[in-house]
Amino acid sequence: MRPLLFWVCVVFSLQIAQAYALPPQKLVLEYDMIYNGTAVALVVNRLEHDHKNYSISEEVKGKGLYALIRSGAARRLARGMVGGDGLKPTEFRDRRGDAAENVARFDWVKSSLIQGQDGRGETQAMPAANHSQPLSDRLSFLWDFAFRSPEFTRKGKEVNAILSDGRGLSTFRYLVTGTETLQTQAGAMETIKLVKQKDPGDDRGTEIWLATEHFYAPVRILVIEKDGTRLDQLVTRIGA
């Protein structure tokens, strides 16, 4: 092989390896939850994986007066397998304060799904899903991009998913609208922005920012209700 061709191949191989690099085996993101301009809660996401299996936990604790008027913390947990093209959840749990916990269990061998409070629910067949519209849960979906090929980052690309919240299934469509520099307490970040596409009767807007230099981790999530109420989850720290 000629020297020039050899080094071209080396550089190209390194670029591919970097593009498919997985996040660190332990990663922690902290966020401020901002309600109409006021920080009302601290959100902590913890990701752990060993290249085969993963665990993601999320805890929301109120700040100031919000901590006094809201009973307990909100917690979500997702576990599953790291696949060749993303995350495949096996269990999802969502508990809000003292309320009953909503649980989803995914059986990929039997292609079945159980959803319900405290894990008590009817077994149903998994909906038809594929690479372009995977089946996931509300927490794994946000981190799935960190384990996928970055081909989804192309402007105008549509990202679809069927998501479980432990109570039922919803289909979501997001459009990659381009890149944006996001100013945060953790510094300026180059991001890819996804905007949820609304179906008839859907009156809630959602926008997601993924940090390109932090393994496409979700660093901002903005929800806008029909009445204009804004719930903004913005990263303040990224660490191990």
Residue 54 inside a domain? The answer is yes
Residue with the two structure tokens 């109120």: 62
Count the domains in the chain: 1
- What's the mean pLDDT in 142-146? 96
pLDDT given at position 5? 42
Between strands 158-164 and 169-184, the pairing is antiparallel
What phi and psi values does residue 159 have, to the nearest 5 degrees? -115, 120
How many Cα atoms occupy the beta-carbon half-sphere of 5 within 13 Å? Answer: 2
Q: Assign residue 55 the CATH number of its domain.
A: 2.50.20
Residue 177 inside a domain? The answer is yes
* Alpha carbon distance 218, 234 (integer Å): 9
pLDDT given at position 69? 54
Inter-residue long-range contacts of 184-187, CB under 8 Å, 24+ positions, other chains counted:
184/219, 184/220, 184/234, 184/235, 184/236, 185/32, 185/234, 185/235, 185/236, 185/237, 186/219, 186/235, 186/236, 186/237, 186/238
pLDDT given at position 65? 60
Binning pLDDT at 50, 70 and 90, where does residue 2 land?
low
Residue 14 inside a domain? The answer is no
- What's the mean pLDDT in 159-188? 96
Please give the residue range of the domain that contains residue 209. 24-239
Three-state SS at 225: coil
pLDDT given at position 10? 34
- Does the pLDDT at position 29 exceed 60? yes
User: What is the token pair recorded at 208?
Assistant: 């997601």
* Alpha carbon distance 22, 128 (integer Å): 27
Residue 12 inside a domain? The answer is no
- What's the mean pLDDT in 29-44? 95
Residue 5 inside a domain? The answer is no
